[in-house]
Structure 1
């Protein structure tokens, strides 16, 4: 079972001596189709998939504008009548990707966020997934974290541990929590150092397009204001283009001190599931997907999410009520 992870320096020492180099993917993942839908009766609307049914092997040859257009083509929206239906679909989606990457790359790198996301993963800790997933291949990260002790009520680690990690047999050394003994700036630098080590040892893939770390699956939540990770509307960190991990000391949402992945890292992900249930998200969902505009006429942070392969929105009928 997962347990409180060691500090990053000790984790790095352990990793350098114990982790094995997983096999590289020898060809584009053309054989991987998107996970199948839940039964049609569970959907309020039909799935909307505005492009090809798989990956885009030519995207690495495109410029940034063309890349953004290709990513839009790989966008999918799933809307469900209930949170239960959403959780069922998200579990299958995650399990299918886990199986593929575990078999073809030898590891499955998963990035978690906080908020309602962990509750939406609840089906993974139940049969058939808890028994069929190869949890030993999972490596778990956080897209952002509050700079608080791991047992603090505001900790994303604690939220994930209580609701998910403690119930599945992920190896403790494969759970990469921040070093909460450091300052926000120090914790961000330490986490980036950890990621660079894991890229060098081939645990985390690297994007041939951006040269930033390429996580297999990023499970993102979204706030009512359209923020993702700890990247908030109008904040200067939205434009950070060099760092992998940075920090914020003036978060408009408490607690104020956090670390966060930057958009170049988020968008280098192979797959992103954007999980945004609830009526409080309806305005932001409409702005992002329905052609609306934000109150201050600025692009919402969530509108900048554009992974290398596929973006899938998981919404309930309340979140999609204004579409």
Structure 2
């Protein structure tokens, strides 16, 4: 397996019309979860990816497994919880602005994720372990699981990538800052956004954000700048990489996960830092073209055409 990741994926209900949810009467069902998004995006880009979690022994849990398995992602380490339910989330839309998100995940099956759910050998055989701050925020046991996974990955010389993915609906910033900065010292690649740089470091300058994380021990820092692109840095080089223009986006949720997957795809291919960033920008931009958290992730051929690196043939 090239990339292993784990965390909470929920059943997502997307409104079929805009406006307050009390006036919405029909929804489209799909799935939403940062870690499974990354795994699915990597699978579409042609990589072997595995995702695991705890899911309720219910129809929603079965639905999530069916969708993720259908995307070519290995789910063999998913644990069924016969006592807790699978989490849900609802989106609320107002024209073309970022949707409001309502979570129904308290005491969900995944919040009871524990160290006992880890398959150490499964992690050690991967090339990259990808983690996010969301799992760290779910519960004490989920946090302990992330820390143990990091320890196991280091024992196996597995590269560790980390998206802080701050969700202030899950924890207070004081606690988040302490935990996320501690984890940042243990990882190889980190994907902070400008807002996360401000919340964690009190800095909004991409160059300074990158410098701080490199000083903590990260080998690569990719600062996400939205439509502007990204600023990437290692101990040997640093540069701004321009983003791709999207005239009319449908949904920005999942763009950051697509960015991370694109970057990790480049790392797996041993591409240059700039090439990793370009691919990340391309996948992230394409994710915004389609409504849904993971529906817009492209194949490698599609993103190459989008980036102008391959010729598109209509018919």
Which protein has the bigger helix share?
2
Same fold flag (TM > 0.5)? no
Measured against the shorter chain, the TM-score band is: 0.3 to 0.5
Larger relative contact order (Cα-Cα within 8 Å, sequence gap ≥ 6) = 1
TM-score normalised by L of structure 2: 0.33
The TM-score, its normalising length taken from structure 1, stands at 0.32
